[in-house]
Amino acid sequence: VSIFLLTSIVFVLYDCLVQKRQEKVMTSAQQSNAIVSSLFPAQVRDRLMGEGQPNKKEDKFHTLSSGSNGAAYNTAHLLSAKPIADLFPNTTVMFADIAGFTAWSSVREPSQVFTLLETVYRAFDTIAKRRRVFKVETIGDCYVAVTGLPEPRKDHAVAMAKFARDCMFRMNDLSHQLEVTLGPDTGDLTMRFGLHSGPVTAGVLR
């Protein structure tokens, strides 16, 4: 009976440890999937997850190799795998930046600078979601977005013009609201928008 009870306790403890490990793995997988989903559209995410998976022998060799051997493996693997890239013939790209941002940010605390950027670009993200505009990235105070990819649409130019108009009005409202917390001259900040329509090659640099 003692041996049976001891064995049962060991199995229960082992089962608990396995379950906790599985929960950690699932949590990590969900977090990784959430990050990839936030960076790439669904079509690219599926291709990114499905392609470029090395087989076990190659992966083992890559893990054990180092120096020039590892570099050679990476180069060979990139050359053998097809890159994720497509041509989108009808798109409109928008570049927008904050006029007066350089002078304004030079006399502000870092937390104030990021408060402005987070507030403004969060509002732009909300508008982009409503207008079905794909946000590419933000570079400093520059906001880059595109229509016509990853889902082609005939009204890409009109949709982007409406998006830029909405962002301009929203920026004017937010700059005056933030002047209370971020200090004078914040209300003078405005957005500059540049739109260009034409073909675009888009993909993922691995």
pLDDT digits (tens, 9 = 90+) for 65-111: 455 555 665 666 656 677 788 899 999 999 999 999 999 999 999 99
Q: Which residues of the chain are under the pLDDT cut of 50?
A: 52, 54, 56-58, 60-65
pLDDT at 67: 52
Query: Which neighbouring-strand residues pair with 138?
Result: 143
pLDDT of residue 78: 59
- DSSP SS3 for 77: helix
**Residues in Cβ contact with 145 at an 8 Å cutoff, skipping those fewer than 6 apart:** 93, 94, 96, 124, 128, 133, 134, 135, 136, 160, 163
| pTM beyond cutoff 0.75 | no
**130: burial class by Cβ within 10 Å (0-12, 13-18, 19+)?**
exposed
The pLDDT of residue 63 is: 46
What per-residue confidence (pLDDT) applies to 74?
A: 63
Which of 170, 162, 169, 125 has its CA nearest to residue 144?
Answer: 125
Residue 132: left if φ>0, alpha if ψ -120 to 50, beta else—which one? left
The Cα–Cα gap between 196 and 185 comes to 30
